[in-house]
Structure 1
């Protein structure tokens, strides 16, 4: 006697292609943003304040240091996001994409479209809190 299986255990190749396209686009944008961040770190301050008095120079140096720290943090976050997107592409290739690593159930398409690098369903994510 054959039992009917209502619940899918993985996404079809066509569905995986849709997610791959979404991830590749997000990856392209993320790499572009990372490139912009790193190039802003390497370019000298172009505010043209070299001829102002020394008092303001000290304040500006502190401000520039703080800004560089913030850009470094953003760049680190962007690198991590890129790594997560690339890992998601790997899961697409081995056909495990969209399967919750906690529950083993399929993560709903809506969640994957919003957060394509996720490895947890909302059910599992809520248990973390």
Structure 2
């Protein structure tokens, strides 16, 4: 059956998506854990006796790194939340249905972005609506 005429993905297809989501979820959790661990190990890097100028540069670098790490942590946490939501949609059998157009999201898009809730058409509608403000 062609994707355009289907209303939802089959159980076999949803199982394939579920494996993909679980793989991405595992990787994201590992990345989050490693980042948190490296961030906590970075707190004391032995600069207590270095020249004050170098210490000032390092403190500035630490601040920038902390801001970057915070952004990465936030992004990873959002990704994990989105992937968990995608798993729920797989179980509820409404995975892969665009929340705007209510049409089936093409398999290629879901393989590339398994946590998406929008087809390209739906995404364009949302972006068009947002550009009005």
Q: Matched residue of 2:12: which SS?
A: helix
What TM-score does the superposition give when structure 2 sets the normalisation length?
Answer: 0.87
Q: How many residue pairs get matched?
A: 124
Confirm or deny that 1:67 pairs with 2:65.
Answer: yes
CA RMSD of aligned residues (A): 1.4
- Partners of 1:23 and 1:29 in 2: how far apart? 10
- Partners of 1:76 and 1:43 in 2: how far apart? 19
Flag the structure with higher helix content.
2
- The equivalent of 2:114 in structure 1 is 116
Structure 2 unpaired stretches of 5+: 128-133
Instruction: From the CA coordinates, give the structure whose radius of gyration is larger.
Output: 1
- Partners of 1:88 and 1:82 in 2: how far apart? 10
- The equivalent of 1:90 in structure 2 is 88
- Partners of 2:36 and 2:50 in 1: how far apart? 28
- Partners of 1:49 and 1:104 in 2: how far apart? 57
- Partners of 1:78 and 1:86 in 2: how far apart? 12
Structure 1 unpaired stretches of 5+: 1-5
